């Protein structure tokens, strides 16, 4: 007695999802087949729809259902600032703050040699041609403050400065409302090192 | 700027999977769209296939692609013993041991009042009519040794004994090769309580 083929195929297919091992793939398959057939149909349909509709914005590389995304279409935004982020989620997080009125560029990843993600695996060439459009004056690097995000920022900064662009990095430090005694030592150290003149 | 509708729909659809929250649904959606379009197509197809092909075996209630599963079709198996398990995985685990030659019945769940799983949510009626087919002499309860599995076994045992069937429970105790000093106290206590005469 073995697992019916179509059930085994479903379990295998679920294992392509990040963070899903054999045990959770099995649990998910049972759930879809046994408990939530309607959700299963919806999931299959959503995958097919997303595949068919999503593309990358020709200008900023984020996910969009149109050739150029809403932000890049918005003529009211500042054309001289370009904020570079790793993923669309980062773009959405910055947009939610309403603190930035320029344009974005989404790398769709970060340099991560250990995971085999090199300079050809993220959108470096499109970024460079985007940054050299003649309107951009400042590129703001908003990659994460992880080892990989920092390495990516360093690499981009060298690359873009060599082409005459002004490059900045978003600030690191204590969170707003943060208390010194609860900050982790590395963040606190950076907050001291990156101190600014009190206006 | 918001998430494109088809991407948001995919994220929402992934949230129906057990153990998948908003963050992992997003990570999964990005992975499918960005990194593994072939895997995404395969997943959608596997869901549709499984939905279309899988049914419950008319006799034992396990997943099967046929009206009656391979085990129930096998005339060589012992017709007088019926082993009751919670899920198809439990059936497969017992089959892999080759220690049981009878038939099975799969409840597709366990009694779990706290999760709203009552006597009408698992396959009790089909079990009773299966157990009363006239050939079954012994019902072996192989639900898990969890609180819920134990409660289910207790309930089934009352129900089946009242109908004149012999009911047994799989044994609890130290694992084969297990060392006393590494056993958890509850298991060790049960091993002492459920001791058997040395043959
Ligand atoms: Zn765009
Ligand atoms: Zn069967």
Task: Compare all CA atoms of chain A with the CA of B61 and give the residue at the minimum distance.
Answer: A34
Query: Which residues sit opposite B55 in a β-bridge?
Result: B64
Q: Which of B84-98, B103-117, B126-140, B173-187 has the lowest mean pLDDT?
A: B173-187
Question: Tokens 């899920």, residue?
Answer: B87
Q: A15: domain CATH number?
A: 1.10.8.420
Co-location of B102 and B156 in the same domain: yes
CA distance A40 to A46: 10
Q: What is the pLDDT of residues B118-160, one digit of tens each?
A: 888 888 889 999 999 999 999 999 888 888 988 999 999 999 9
B140 domain residue, yes or no: yes
The separation between the first and the last C-alpha atoms of chain A, rounded to the nearest angstrom, is 75
Co-location of B38 and B98 in the same domain: no
Q: What is the pLDDT of residues A27-84, one digit of tens each?
A: 999 999 988 999 999 999 999 999 999 999 999 999 999 999 999 999 999 999 999 9
- Could you tell me whether strands B81-85 and B103-106 are parallel, antiparallel, or unpaired per DSSP bridges? parallel
Co-location of B141 and B101 in the same domain: yes
Give chain B's domain count: 2
Co-location of A41 and A83 in the same domain: no
pLDDT grade for B199, boundaries at 50, 70 and 90: low
Q: What is the pLDDT of residues A77-120, one digit of tens each?
A: 999 999 999 999 889 888 888 888 999 999 999 998 888 888 88
Establish, for the pair of chains A and B, how many residue pairs have beta carbons separated by less than 8 Å.
Answer: 174
Q: For position A137, what pLDDT does the model report? A: 93
A140 domain residue, yes or no: yes
Task: Compare all CA atoms of chain B with the CA of A95 and give the residue at the minimum distance.
Answer: B1
A70 domain residue, yes or no: no
Co-location of A82 and A161 in the same domain: yes
- Predicted complex: ipTM over 0.90: no
With CA atoms as reference, report the closest residue to A29 among B6, A16, A51, B67: A16
Mean pLDDT, to the nearest integer, of B66-93?
Answer: 92
B71 domain residue, yes or no: no
The overall average pLDDT reported for chain B is: 89
B174 domain residue, yes or no: no
Q: For position B127, what pLDDT does the model report? A: 95
Co-location of A48 and A99 in the same domain: no
pLDDT grade for B85, boundaries at 50, 70 and 90: very high
CB pair distance less than 8 Å for B50 and A39? no
CB-based burial label for A36 (10 Å; 0-12, 13-18, 19+): middle
- pLDDT of A146 over the 70 cut: yes
A8 touches chain B (CB under 8 A): no
Co-location of B96 and B153 in the same domain: yes
CB distance A172 to A190 below 8 Å: yes
Nearest by CB: A87 against B20, B30, B43:
B30
The overall average pLDDT reported for chain A is: 89
Q: Which domain holds residue B15?
A: 5-53
Buried b (16+ CB within 10 A) or exposed e, A153-164: bebbbebbeeee
Ranges of beta strands (E only) in chain A are 55-56, 63-64, 81-85, 103-106, 138-141, 166-169
- Show the tokens assigned to A49: 């729809």
- Show the tokens assigned to B118: 């009552």
Co-location of A84 and A152 in the same domain: yes
CA distance B26 to B8: 9
B102 domain residue, yes or no: yes
Co-location of B42 and B87 in the same domain: no
Distance B105 CA to ligand 2 centre (A): 7
- pLDDT of B164 over the 70 cut: yes
Co-location of B90 and B43 in the same domain: no
B69 domain residue, yes or no: no
CB pair distance less than 8 Å for A1 and B91? yes
Q: A159: domain CATH number?
A: 3.40.1360.10
- Residue B24 exposure: Cα atoms within 13 Å on the Cβ side: 12
Co-location of A104 and A156 in the same domain: yes
Co-location of A89 and A130 in the same domain: yes
């Amino acid at each position: 007695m073995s697992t019916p083929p179509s059930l085994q195929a479903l379990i295998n297919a679920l294992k392509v999802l990040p963070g899903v091992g054999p045990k959770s793939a099995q649990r998910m398959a049972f759930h879809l087949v046994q408990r939530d057939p309607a959700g299963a149909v919806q999931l299959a349909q959503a995958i097919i729809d997303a595949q068919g509709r999503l593309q990358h914005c020709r200008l900023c590389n984020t996910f969009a259902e149109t050739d150029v995304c809403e932000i890049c279409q918005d003529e009211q935004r500042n054309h001289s600032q370009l904020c570079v982020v790793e993923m669309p989620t980062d773009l959405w997080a910055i947009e939610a703050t309403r603190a930035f009125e320029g344009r974005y560029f989404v790398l769709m990843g970060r340099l991560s040699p250990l995971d085999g993600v090199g300079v050809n695996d993220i959108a470096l060439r499109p970024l460079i041609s985007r940054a050299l459009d003649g309107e951009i004056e400042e590129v703001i690097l908003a990659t994460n403050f992880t080892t990989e995000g920092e390495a990516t920022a360093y690499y981009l900064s060298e690359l873009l400065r060599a082409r005459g662009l002004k490059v900045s990095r978003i600030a690191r430090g204590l969170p707003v409302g943060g208390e010194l005694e609860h900050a982790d030592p590395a963040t606190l150290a950076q907050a001291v090192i990156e101190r600014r003149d009190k206006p």
